[in-house]
């Protein structure tokens, strides 16, 4: 049932949002050199890697300086990037991942392999469900960049504090991936509840 909802909502979203997506793509391409989309390998259902799509919000080769974005004014972020990241517009191309069946609208946010390789056996349960565009952890940790900016060792803080807390939050959905919880998380994401 959730896969049907994902397919219908992602298709409708892409159709309805097409004019906005086109304007954002144009802005990204005019703002800085590089591709419109940022494509990154993430770990999905059953530990299988897939290409996650986002609008590019950083300058070229920024990934070489680290995988974590720290603080609200990371110098790697482009002018358009500040706006599209603030309002999570950079995530909209992931509707393509949902349409393809690689992601769901709701599910644990997919991680990069570097961090998934650190999961213990219990934490690997997040790989039992399709990863999502939004989840309970995305709502609770919406200011993650600012939290990391306050840390003297952001990567250590992410690995030992934030990542385990996110996984614990995601276990709630994993244990009950119901239509009710699906819509509840979408509602909380949209309305910030």
* pLDDT value for 154: 86
End-to-end CA distance of the chain: 25
Task: State percent of the chain over pLDDT 70.
Answer: 93
Q: Is the pLDDT of residue 27 over 90?
A: yes
Which residue intervals of 32-125 are DSSP H helices?
A: 79-86, 94-100, 113-116
CB of 103 within 8 A of CB of 40?
Answer: no
- 167-183: per-residue pLDDT in tens? 999 988 888 888 999 99
Structural tokens at position 13: 């979203």
Structural tokens at position 172: 């709630």
Is the Cα dihedral 158, 56, 137, 100 positive or negative?
Answer: negative
**In angstroms, rounded to a whole number, what is the distance separating the alpha carbons of residues 14 and 12?**
6
* pLDDT value for 125: 93
**In angstroms, rounded to a whole number, what is the distance separating the alpha carbons of residues 100 and 133?**
13
Residues with Cβ within 8 Å of 27's Cβ and at least 6 positions away in sequence, in order, are 80
* pLDDT value for 49: 98
Summarize the confidence of residues 145-158 as an average pLDDT. 86
Summarize the confidence of residues 12-40 as an average pLDDT. 96
* pLDDT value for 71: 53
Looking at every residue in the chain, the average pLDDT score rounds to 90
Summarize the confidence of residues 4-18 as an average pLDDT. 97
Higher pLDDT pick, 71 / 9: 9
* pLDDT value for 166: 95
Task: State percent of the chain over pLDDT 90.
Answer: 68
- 37-62: per-residue pLDDT in tens? 999 999 999 999 999 999 999 887 76
Summarize the confidence of residues 112-135 as an average pLDDT. 95
The pairing of beta strand 132-134 with beta strand 104-106? parallel
State the DSSP code for 122.
Answer: T
- 182-191: per-residue pLDDT in tens? 999 999 988 8
3-state secondary structure of 41: strand
């Amino acid at each position: 049932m959730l896969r049907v909802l994902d397919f219908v909502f992602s298709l409708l979203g892409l159709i309805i949002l097409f004019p906005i997506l086109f304007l954002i793509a144009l802005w990204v391409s005019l703002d800085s050199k590089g591709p419109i989309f940022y494509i990154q390998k993430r770990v999905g259902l059953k530990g299988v890697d897939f290409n996650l799509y986002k609008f590019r919000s950083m300058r070229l080769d920024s990934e070489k300086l680290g995988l974590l974005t720290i603080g609200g004014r990371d110098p790697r972020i482009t002018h358009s990037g500040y706006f599209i990241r603030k309002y999570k517009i950079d995530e909209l191309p992931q509707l393509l991942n949902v349409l393809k069946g690689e992601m769901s609208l709701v599910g644990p946010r997919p991680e990069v392999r570097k961090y998934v390789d650190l999961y213990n056996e219990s934490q690997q349960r997040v790989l039992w469900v399709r990863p999502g565009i939004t989840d309970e952890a995305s709502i609770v940790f919406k200011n993650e960049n600012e939290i990391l900016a306050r840390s003297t060792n952001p990567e250590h803080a992410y690995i030992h504090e934030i990542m385990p807390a996110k996984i614990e939050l995601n276990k709630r959905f994993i244990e009950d991936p119901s239509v009710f919880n699906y819509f509840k998380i979408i509602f909380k994401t949209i309305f910030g509840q």
